[in-house]
């Protein structure tokens, strides 16, 4: 049953902000002034790898070495049968020359959308490095044995959580979820559900974006040619 919220706690328990009197006008002008000039570096044709996978590997390594929190977090966009998009954050768990792998519930909203339209987009934003990467491609489920390998490598709590959560469905309460978790722990059987596993995004295009001053950003776009080679073009910022 969907619950109607009747009130809110006054103080945010994460940031201690007093929520009383917050309105849509609270930002009044602040958003207009919220901006950064991008000066961290440049990205030119001369220092771009011919292979976008190598370029990704380099930027990913640099992101982790620069201490970006969860550099493997990406926004995944999918589209439903009516052409309406939706986005959410997932964690990249592997990348190879073949593509980019993440794990999820195949019956979730995203899973249902992917079943109807396998084309998707991944977006990474590494703010302190002023870098964005966009990858478009086609999703495929990975082999069950490979999903098993990852599933059983996760902490037990995450395995149990994946088993009991009907991801994206309406549930009656927080208590219902916690009760399911406890019941599953008591049963003691741990098995990867058939509807939980990995997808691989097989890339078709990449865009590497490096912020520059005066909004004259560097944008290098890679497109896969029929020959298998990648063509690089520069896009206007
Ligand atoms: C940092 C972060 C990492 C996440 N990683 C995953 C993930 O790897 N897999 C996943 O299914 N959901 C992950 N989520 C939750 C998703 O954002 C999303 O709520 C969930 O997958 C349901 O999405 P859907 O209803 O669009 O299918 C993550 C959320 C955040 C904020």
Structural domain boundaries in the chain: 36-152+194-234, 155-191
Calculate the average pLDDT of the chain. 94
User: What share of the chain has pLDDT > 90, as a percent?
Assistant: 87
pLDDT at 32 > cutoff 90: yes
> In angstroms, rounded to a whole number, what is the distance separating the alpha carbons of residues 177 and 96?
36
- Of 109, 215, 219, 234, catalytic: 215
Q: Whose CA is nearest to atom 19 of ligand 1?
A: 88
Helices and strands per DSSP (H, E), number in the chain: 6, 9
pLDDT at 171 > cutoff 60: yes
pLDDT at 4 > cutoff 60: no
Contact 119, 137 (CB under 8 A): yes
Q: 107, 52, 79: which is closest to 228 by C-alpha?
A: 52
Active site (annotated) includes residue 215: yes
Burial of residue 80 (number of CB atoms within 10 Å: 0-12, 13-18, 19+): middle
Q: 126, 190, 198: which is closest to 156 by C-alpha?
A: 190
The pLDDT, as a whole number, for residue 10 is 80
The pLDDT, as a whole number, for residue 17 is 82
Q: What is the pLDDT of residues 199-211, one digit of tens each?
A: 999 999 999 999 9
Model pTM above 0.85: yes
Say if domain 36-152+194-234 classifies as CATH 2.30.110.10: yes
The pLDDT, as a whole number, for residue 162 is 98
> In angstroms, rounded to a whole number, what is the distance separating the alpha carbons of residues 47 and 96?
21
pLDDT at 3 > cutoff 70: no
The pLDDT, as a whole number, for residue 1 is 46
40 lines ligand 1 (CB under 6 A): no
91 lines ligand 1 (CB under 6 A): yes
Determine the residue of 68, 91, 121 to mutate for testing ligand 1's pocket, defined as the one with the most ligand atoms within 8 A of the Cβ atom. 91
Q: How far is the CA of 221 from the centre of ligand 1 (A)?
A: 27
């Amino acid at each position: 049953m969907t619950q109607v919220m009747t009130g809110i706690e006054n103080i945010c328990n994460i940031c201690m902000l007093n929520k009383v009197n917050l309105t849509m006008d609270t930002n009044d002008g602040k958003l207009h002034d919220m901006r950064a000039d991008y000066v961290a570096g440049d990205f030119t044709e001369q220092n771009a790898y011919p292979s976008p996978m190598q370029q990704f590997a380099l930027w990913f390594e640099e992101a982790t070495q620069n201490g970006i929190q969860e550099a493997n977090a990406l926004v995944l966009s999918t589209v439903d049968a009516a052409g309406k998009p939706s986005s959410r954050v997932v964690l990249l768990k592997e990348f190879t020359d073949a593509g980019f792998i993440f794990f999820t519930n195949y019956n979730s909203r995203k899973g249902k959308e992917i079943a109807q339209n396998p084309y998707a987009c991944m977006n990474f934003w590494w703010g302190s490095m002023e870098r964005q990467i966009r990858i478009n491609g086609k999703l495929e489920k990975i082999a069950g044995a490979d999903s098993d390998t990852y599933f059983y490598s996760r902490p037990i709590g995450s395995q149990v959580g994946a088993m009991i959560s009907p991801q994206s469905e309406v549930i009656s309460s927080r208590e219902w979820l916690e009760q399911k978790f406890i019941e599953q722990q008591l049963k003691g059987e741990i098995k990867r559900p058939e509807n939980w596993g990995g997808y691989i995004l097989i890339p078709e295009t990449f865009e590497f974006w490096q912020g520059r001053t005066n909004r004259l950003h560097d944008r290098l776009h890679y497109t896969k040619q029929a020959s298998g080679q990648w063509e690089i073009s520069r896009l206007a910022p």
